[in-house]
C-alpha cells in the first residue's frame, strides 16, 4: 500500500503471493482479476457439492427519509391541531395575520387584540372601545360576590395564584356573571319572534323561568347601577343600530313596575348590546353573528374582565398577609335532624 517499505525480497507482495499459492491458496495474477477468481472458486465448490446455493432474496427496500419525502411533496402528515388566529412560526408573531409590530404601532389596544384573536378581524374603533369598557366595568364588584369570595378564601389558605383565580372562575354561571349568554339568547329569540315585550315577560312567568339579565340583589330603579348607565349611553351614542337593547329597555319598564330591583343589569345591557354589535356593525354575516351567540362568545367578556379583579383580590390578600379563613359560627344556621332518644 502507499508508503509501504520492503527491506528484502521476502517482504515484497509478489513473494507473499507466491508463498500463499504454494500453501494452496487461490491467488489472482493481479488485483483486477480478484473478482473473477472468487467467481471461479465459488463455481467449482458448487460443482463439488461443498456449497449449496440459497434462493436469492431481494433486499428489503430502505424507506425514504420522512423529512426528505415531505420536502419532495410525496407524503403529507395530517395535522393534530388546527388554528386560525395566531402564527408564531415566522420571523414575527402574527395575530390573525397582523404582525405584532403593527398591532403595537397602530395602537389597536386591548380591544383590538380581542377583535383579532376572538373574531379573526379588525373591528371598528367603537367596537374595540366597547370591548375595553366592558372589561373595565366588569373587572370587579367587591369581595362579597361568590367568585371574589372563593379567590380570597383560597389565597388565605395558602394556595397559588392560578389555583385561587380558577376557584373564583368556576363559580361563574347562570347565577353569577354567566347570565350574558342566557340573556343574549332569551332576548334575541323573543325579539326575532316578534314577541311584544309584555308577551315575553308573561311567557317567561308562565314557564316559571327567570329572565336572564334582569334583576339585581342590591341595585334598583331607585338605586341605579352606574355601570349600566355608562354602557347604555355609549351604545346609544356610537352604535349604528341597537334594536335589541331598546327591546330590553322596554322589558325593563315592565319588570320594574312589578318590583323596583328587576332592572336591566350589567349582564343584560352587555349581552343585548353585544348582539346588536354582531348584527349591525357590518363586519359579520347573520350566520356568523348567530354562531358567536351560540358558542358562548358573549360571556367571554365577563370571564376576561372579572379575572382582572380576581387577580387583584389574590394579590391583596397576600400583600395584607391574611391568615387562613374560617367562617364564624354565628353566621351559620345549623339545621340538623332531631336526635334519637
Q: How deeply is 305 buried, as exposed, middle or buried, from its count of CB atoms within 10 A (0-12, 13-18, 19+)? A: buried
Catalytic residue among 1, 216, 313, 327: 1
Distance from C-alpha of 223 to C-alpha of 249, rounded to nearest angstrom: 17
| Helix %, strand %, coil % of the chain (to 5) | 55, 5, 40
Strand ranges across the sheet with 98-99: 86-87, 94-95, 98-99
314-332 exposure pattern, b = at least 16 Cβ within 10 A, e = fewer: beebeeeeeeeeeeeeeee
85 neighbors 116 (Cβ within 8 angstroms): yes
Strand partners, 214: 264
How distant is the alpha carbon of residue 93 from its chain centre?
17
Strand partners, 193: none
Active site residue 50: no
Enzyme catalytic residues = 1
Amino acid at each position: 500500500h502507499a508508503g509501504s517499505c520492503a527491506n528484502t525480497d521476502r517482504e515484497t507482495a509478489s513473494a507473499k503471493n507466491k508463498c500463499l499459492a504454494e500453501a494452496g491458496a487461490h491467488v489472482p495474477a493481479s488485483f483486477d482479476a480478484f473478482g473473477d477468481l472468487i467467481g471461479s472458486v465459488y463455481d467449482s465448490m458448487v460443482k463439488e457439492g461443498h456449497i449449496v446455493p440459497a434462493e436469492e432474496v431481494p433486499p428489503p427496500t430502505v424507506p425514504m427519509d420522512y423529512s426528505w419525502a415531505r420536502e419532495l411533496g410525496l407524503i403529507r402528515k395530517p395535522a393534530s391541531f388546527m388554528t386560525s388566529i395566531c402564527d408564531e412560526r415566522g420571523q414575527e408573531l402574527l395575530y390573525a395575520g397582523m404582525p405584532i409590530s403593527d398591532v403595537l404601532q397602530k395602537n389597536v389596544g386591548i380591544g383590538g387584540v380581542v377583535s383579532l384573536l376572538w373574531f379573526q378581524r379588525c373591528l371598528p374603533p367603537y367596537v374595540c372601545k366597547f370591548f375595553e369598557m366592558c372589561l373595565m366595568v366588569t373587572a370587579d364588584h367587591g369581595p362579597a360576590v361568590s367568585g371574589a369570595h372563593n379567590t380570597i378564601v383560597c389565597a388565605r389558605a395558602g394556595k397559588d395564584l392560578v389555583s385561587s383565580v380558577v376557584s373564583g372562575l368556576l363559580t361563574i354561571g347562570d347565577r353569577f356573571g354567566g347570565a350574558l349568554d342566557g340573556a343574549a339568547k332569551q332576548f334575541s329569540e323573543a325579539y326575532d319572534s316578534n314577541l311584544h315585550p309584555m308577551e315575553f315577560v308573561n311567557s317567561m312567568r308562565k314557564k316559571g323561568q327567570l329572565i336572564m339579565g334582569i334583576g339585581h340583589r342590591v341595585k334598583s330603579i331607585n338605586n341605579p347601577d352606574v355601570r349600566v348607565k355608562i354602557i347604555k349611553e355609549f351604545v346609544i351614542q356610537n352604535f349604528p343600530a341597537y334594536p335589541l337593547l331598546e327591546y330590553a329597555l322596554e322589558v325593563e319598564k315592565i319588570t320594574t313596575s312589578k318590583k323596583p330591583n328587576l332592572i336591566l343589569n350589567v349582564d343584560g345591557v352587555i349581552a343585548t348590546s353585544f348582539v346588536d354589535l354582531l348584527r349591525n356593525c357590518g363586519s359579520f354575516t347573520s350566520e356568523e353573528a348567530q354562531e358567536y351567540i351560540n358558542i358562548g362568545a358573549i360571556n367571554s367578556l365577563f370571564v376576561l374582565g372579572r379575572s382582572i379583579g380576581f387577580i387583584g383580590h389574590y394579590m391583596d390578600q397576600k400583600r395584607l398577609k391574611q391568615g387562613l379563613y374560617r367562617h364564624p359560627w354565628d353566621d351559620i344556621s345549623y339545621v340538623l335532624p332531631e336526635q334519637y332518644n
